[in-house]
Chains A and B, each alone.
Chain A
Amino acid sequence: MKLTGAQIFFECLKAEGVDTIFGFPGGAVIDIYDEMPKHDIRHVLVRHEQGAAHMADGYARATGRVGVCLVTSGPGATNTVTGIATAYMDSIPIVIFTGQVPTSLIGNDAFQEVDIIGISRPCTKHNYLVKDIADLARIIREAFYLARSGRPGPVLVDLPKDVINAKTEFKYPKKVSLPGYRPTYEAHLGQIKRAYAAIAKAKKPVIYAGGGVIASSCARELKRLAETLRCPVTTTLMGLGGFPAPHDLWLGMLGMHGTFRANMAVANTDLLIAIGARFDDRVTGKLDEFAPRAKIIHIDIDPTSISKNVRVDIPIVGDCKDALRKLLHVLDENRLEGLDATRKPWLEQIQKWKETYPLAYEQSDHEIKPQYVVEKLYELSEGKAIITTEVGQNQMWAAQYYHFSEPRTLLTSGGLGTMGYGFPAAIGAQIAFPDRLVIDIAGDGSIQMCIQELITAVENNLPVKVAILNNQYLGMVRQWQELFYNKHYCGTCIKAAPDFVKLAEAYGALGLRATKPSEVEAVIREAFATPKTVFMDFVVNPEEGVYPMVPAGKAMTEMLLV
């Protein structure tokens, strides 16, 4: 029996196990929408297509599965670009379906036509324009395969209207054949042995783990490695949750707003074991002075990450899980003796750094400190929430003061730094996990970037909690202006703001406000107890800064501490 392109679309999604699409309709995809009610799939109607991409992304980060969104051609497609680039920078598997004008009109500046293939080329792992219905099933199959395999990433499929309406026999290909795409999963044993030799010699090793640990689900292996080696662990923002924060080998995050001890440890280490991390400039600071005394082992599935920014001594291309398992195996077979004694001075030094400059802030009794709000959120959620963040100070305070212990509990735009990410991502995560506590830690600036999704949350009865750290500034930029631009606060004062409590109410959500430290706990408790979408407006000290801070381009040891 012949099926239409729209029917094939749903058959393919079924074959891929997709249960949810985040989308927004339009003329180019109306035939897909027409077909939709006949299929057992949940459609979440967003209010802006950027939200659809972020929701699919949040869904993917929370579950480890591929997130899916569907939008129309032209403006629908362009509205997703920020979301696509966000997912691309953080290697998140999503598949974006965009409508397109009929093939006969492509290139004619037709109504709502845009070259989304050209636009999205630099921010997708791959993209496809389906020109012939005969290719549709194969391309969708490939898109999902590419999105989730190797180094994951977003894949876009552009669907011209006539292809959606054409008919053909449906056959879902069992296999994909992509002659140019052969990701390396298996780490090379010779390199693993070289890594072992370097590890055996090291006196002051540090493990530096990134988002790859989460993508390849190897947090267990990472913990075993650290414990076997008695080796302290730091992670990037993207790696938070990949190693349990309460652990005695935990250094905290490193980089621009990393802990004093993590940055000092990296500056003094003689062996840096990088796992699924890409030496981002927010992590390394001034490259010449990054881990200057260290031999570097770098495990990554993407060969382009290796030696891109920093010269690596022992590259290991492969899946982090496979590499760690092999390394652990070699370590089990060739036990390193006397590690407790060898590590003692190093761990003592780290302990001293920790005591000299712990992460700290002073909570007064009349003004709410944003850090206090995050700590209270941690405490009252018992560390069990899925946290999403916006971008700015709120993101860094979330990273510093919510102590992540499980992978996939922090969803944040690390690579692109997208304000507006956190709220829709929280919606995506909440849809995947209706019974979990999902909190977006937000700035008063960022929350306004995708605030229209409030109605999406309310419409779907999602109990997402949004904690707005309302400092009446674009705080992170204000902090830069304070420190490096002579307090020239241009364009960062956002006192003119909606009343977030009334706004929440207008959308049918619950709005709560705390203006005094004594009110914080009650607000959080009420929010957690209310099975609805809740906005918590925490009016915080407007001039609080994120510390430590390494000024851009400086060495990681040149931290501003308060």
Chain B
Amino acid sequence: MKHILGVLVENQPGVLSRVAGLFSGRGFNIESLTVAETLDPKISRITLVTRGNEQIMEQIIKQLNKLINVIKVIDFCDIDFVEREMALIKVKAEASTRAEVLRIVDIFRGKVVDVSPHTYSVEVTGDEKKIEAILDLLGHLGIVEVVRTGKAAIARSKKH
């Protein structure tokens, strides 16, 4: 099963390679990984997508917690959360297909961020399904290049 993990770590050199090294060294797989500083510059947050049965996930979480620089691990499986990913998509846009590209981008609430005589570059954010869907539609028109950020996730606040 797929799991999204939020990992709070000390913002120090080498910490990311400890986390990544833990995965490769123990034969776990990382599907995506994003990192950036939190509000507290001493702490960074890694959002990591991985896969495994219950026993593997238990090990992954325990092993992450065991790293000295890891402060906290959140498994989003246990909680209600919002996830987003951003993709930058360079798609072929010839005279005959430009309107179609714009229409699709509009439907997905994307944004054209760069234009060339033969391409549009499009920014789109959303959950994985939405990104997959726009990639599928634009795919028919000819995608030149895609850059995806990987997931970021945040827990939903209690409503009351």
Contact = CB atoms under 8 A, between A and B. Distances in A.
Given A121-B18, A122-B21, A122-B25, A304 B63 contact: yes
B68 A178 contact: yes
Given A146-B68, A181-B68, A118 B17 contact: yes
B71 interface: yes
B10 A180 contact: yes
Nearest to B24: A122
User: Which range holds the interface residue count of chain B?
Assistant: 20 to 34
B12 to A, nearest CB: 10
Contacts of A303: 62, 65-66
Contacts of A178: 68
A347 interface: no
A180 B69 contact: yes
Contacts, number: 35
A498 interface: no
Contacts of B71: 179-180
A363 interface: no
Contacts of B14: 117, 129
B17 to A, nearest CB: 7
Nearest to B70: A180
Interface string A124-149: 01100100000000000000001000
A129 B65 CA distance: 22
B53 interface: no
A252 B81 CA distance: 53
Contacts of B13: 129
Contact of B66 (A117, A129, A179, A302): A302
Nearest to B21: A121
Contact of B62 (A118, A180, A304): A304
Nearest to A317: B62
A201 interface: no
A335 interface: no
A521 to B, nearest CB: 49
Contact of B68 (A126, A302, A304): A126
A307 interface: yes
Contact of A121 (B17, B55, B66): B17
A181 B58 CA distance: 18
B59 interface: yes
Given A302-B66, A304-B62, A179 B10 contact: yes
A502 interface: no
B9 interface: yes
A308 interface: yes
A180 B9 contact: yes
Interface string B46-84: 000000000100110011011111111000000000000
A27 B55 CA distance: 48
A146 B68 CA distance: 9
Interface string A263-306: 00000000000000000000000000000000000000011100
A307 B58 contact: yes
Interface string A170-185: 0000000011110000
Nearest to A117: B14
Contacts of B66: 302-304
Nearest to A150: B66
A180 B21 contact: no
Given A179-B71, A302-B66, 6 more contacts: A125-B68, A129-B13, A180-B71, A303-B65, A304-B59, A307-B58
24 contacts: A117-B14, A118-B17, A121-B17, A121-B18, A121-B21, A122-B21, A122-B25, A129-B13, A129-B14, A178-B68, A179-B10, A180-B67, A180-B69, A180-B70, A180-B72, A181-B68, A302-B66, A303-B62, A303-B65, A303-B66, A304-B59, A304-B62, A304-B66, A307-B55
Interface of B: 9-10, 13-14, 17-18, 21, 25, 55, 58-59, 62-63, 65-72
Question: 8 closest Cβ contacts across the A-B interface?
Answer: A180-B71, A304-B62, A126-B68, A122-B25, A180-B70, A303-B62, A181-B68, A179-B71
